[in-house]
Amino acid sequence: MAEKAEKIAVIGAGAMGLACAYELLKNHHQVDIYEKDDRIGGMSASFDFDGLTIERYYHFICRTDTPLFELLNELNISETLCWQDTKMGFFYNGKLYKWGDPIHLFTFPKLGLISKLRYALHIFYTKSVKNWESLDKQDAVSWLKKWLGEKTYQTLWDYLFQLKFYEYKGNLSAAWIGTRIKRVALSRKNLFNEELGYLKGGSETLLKALEKQIFAQNGNIYLNADIERIMIDNNQIQGVIVNGEKRFYDKVISTIPLPYIPQIAPNLSESIINKIKAIHNCGVVCVLLKLRSPLTENFWLNVNDPTMEIPGLIEYTNLYQKTESVIYVPFYMPKTHPKSKQENHLFIEEVFGYLHRINPAFSKEWVLATHVSRYEFAQPICTPNFYQQLPPMQTPIQGFLMADTSYYYPEDRSISESVKVGKALAMING
């Protein structure tokens, strides 16, 4: 028997909210999406960067992003998916090394042969893992040290963890870092060539196609619509309060960052609220630069240099070519970190110094434009036993479902995972 058509509110018009709404509309429900921003897209939204429409944060696609490929296919935009051979670099203690393939691993002078063999073996092992349950119980640092040894861990990982997770670096799930290694390791044309993807027109192409389908099926998207509270009666969802106005629904599905949930749903049980509060996030302050000339040949540049407080930088136009060079320099940090309050121009100045250190030919005359994007919930911190930590998507309030980027676990954040979770939310009968 066909499911009864319901009137459903989806909160958040990022990739997850849009994918969820699209799925619900396919099943003939009546759907309204509420987004507090002035545009759709959330983390994948674009903006006008001095005449260039580009994403607030970099996005690359991997060969394993199957849920995304299925959606592109359904939306008839598969032909916008492009693949590019990309290079990786490693800026280690003041020197730029080539990285990311067996030749450059074995010619890297800072590690011995045994360490390199252990590193390669670890990647081969991680690529083969299918069940992450046992790694969910282990912490990432101990797991990496066990496989790689102390020196290799210090050379390749410690600085990255320190500059992304700070006080949380010793409490990360091995499963989470494992899926991250696996995703990138499987995105290769062969052993020697990394191949990453992008959408022609950027993530905006996907967002626009979803929006078009949502409108075609009579869904609504309300922008500048900040959901203040959900309404509940007798443990049953009644609707939402948006900009002071009550709107009534059979079901409400939230895709906004979990830390906002206690605010909009204070009546959730204490045990769920406590679980939510125990999940922390890293924020990001992401400096964007438009330059006259490329800085390096790399798309991804890992950094381990005691004079630089960044784990890496992304030269986006070495993946998706544009007339000028566009670089993203993310400063990740929990919101408790004092630097997160620092003004934008100080981050930009700091980055100028780093670019000069990486390529001494760089000067401020290269800079055509700068911008800083900030997001408080850029990366959930997935601790050991994170499966147990996550509250259920179907909350104890009848008709109120929730998920956010933590629910990708053990996978790392990606638009593809948002598509998968968005679809899963739409399928739950509750």
Ligand X SMILES: Cc1cc2nc3c(=O)[nH]c(=O)nc-3n(C[C@H](O)[C@H](O)[C@H](O)COP(=O)(O)OP(=O)(O)OC[C@H]3O[C@@H](n4cnc5c(N)ncnc54)[C@H](O)[C@@H]3O)c2cc1C
Beta carbon of residue 255, minimum distance to ligand X (angstroms, whole number): 5
In the list 10, 17, 187, 230, the residue contacting ligand X (rule: CB under 6 A) is: 17
Residue number, 139 or 404, with CB nearest to ligand X: 404
Question: At residue 292, what are phi and psi to the nearest 5 degrees?
Answer: -65, -40
CA distance 413 to 420: 11
Beta carbon of residue 404, minimum distance to ligand X (angstroms, whole number): 6
* CA separation, residue 356 to residues 93, 296, 298, 302 (Å): 14, 11, 16, 16
* CA separation, residue 309 to residues 140, 304, 355, 362, 381 (Å): 21, 9, 12, 19, 20
Q: How many CB atoms lie within 10 A of CB 387?
A: 15
Q: How many CB atoms lie within 10 A of CB 322?
A: 11
Residue number, 125 or 215, with CB nearest to ligand X: 215
Size, binding site for ligand X by CB under 6 A: 36
In the list 126, 213, 325, 418, the residue contacting ligand X (rule: CB under 6 A) is: 418
Site for ligand X contains 58 (CB under 6 A): yes
Token pair for 279 = 């999940």
Site for ligand X contains 382 (CB under 6 A): no
Residues 60-89 contacting ligand X, CB under 6 A: 60
Site for ligand X contains 16 (CB under 6 A): yes
In the list 64, 395, 405, 406, the residue contacting ligand X (rule: CB under 6 A) is: 405
Of the candidate spans 7-15, 46-54, 182-190, 297-305, the one that interacts with ligand X by CB under 6 A turns out to be 7-15
DSSP code at position 298: -
Residues 309-368 contacting ligand X, CB under 6 A: 330
In the list 24, 31, 32, 34, the residue contacting ligand X (rule: CB under 6 A) is: 34
Site for ligand X contains 284 (CB under 6 A): yes
Letters for 262-281 (x = contact with ligand X by CB under 6 A, - = none) are --x-----------------
CA 250 to chain centre: 31
Beta carbon of residue 304, minimum distance to ligand X (angstroms, whole number): 19
Site for ligand X contains 380 (CB under 6 A): no
Residue number, 139 or 183, with CB nearest to ligand X: 183
Of the candidate spans 56-64, 157-165, 166-174, 335-343, the one that interacts with ligand X by CB under 6 A turns out to be 56-64
Of the candidate spans 15-23, 112-120, 126-134, 364-372, the one that interacts with ligand X by CB under 6 A turns out to be 15-23
Site for ligand X contains 210 (CB under 6 A): no
CA distance 227 to 242: 5
Beta carbon of residue 15, minimum distance to ligand X (angstroms, whole number): 4
Amino acid at 384: P
Beta carbon of residue 76, minimum distance to ligand X (angstroms, whole number): 21
Residue number, 253 or 286, with CB nearest to ligand X: 286
> By the 8 A CB rule, do 41 and 190 touch?
no
Residue number, 28 or 246, with CB nearest to ligand X: 246
Query: Looking up tokens 């429900």, which residue turns up?
Result: 29
Beta carbon of residue 187, minimum distance to ligand X (angstroms, whole number): 11
Q: Which of 289, 333, 293 is nearest to 309 (CA)?
A: 333
Site for ligand X contains 286 (CB under 6 A): yes
Helix 203-216 / helix 15-26 crossing angle, nearest 10 deg: 30
Site for ligand X contains 12 (CB under 6 A): yes
* CA separation, residue 126 to residues 120, 121, 130, 176 (Å): 10, 9, 9, 11
Strands 281-291 and 367-380 come out as antiparallel
Beta carbon of residue 408, minimum distance to ligand X (angstroms, whole number): 7
CA angle 350, 160, 144 (to 5 degrees): 170
Paired residues of 48 in beta bridges = 53
In the list 49, 57, 99, 108, the residue contacting ligand X (rule: CB under 6 A) is: 57
Beta carbon of residue 182, minimum distance to ligand X (angstroms, whole number): 15
DSSP code at position 429: -
CA distance 339 to 309: 11
CA distance 371 to 226: 25
Question: At residue 6, what are phi and psi to the nearest 5 degrees?
Answer: -120, 165
CA 189 to chain centre: 23
Residue number, 296 or 373, with CB nearest to ligand X: 373
> By the 8 A CB rule, do 213 and 46 touch?
no
Residue number, 91 or 408, with CB nearest to ligand X: 408
Site for ligand X contains 168 (CB under 6 A): no
What is the binding site for ligand X (CB under 6 A)? 11-17, 34-37, 42-44, 57-60, 226-227, 255-257, 260, 264, 284, 286, 330, 375, 378, 405, 413-416, 418
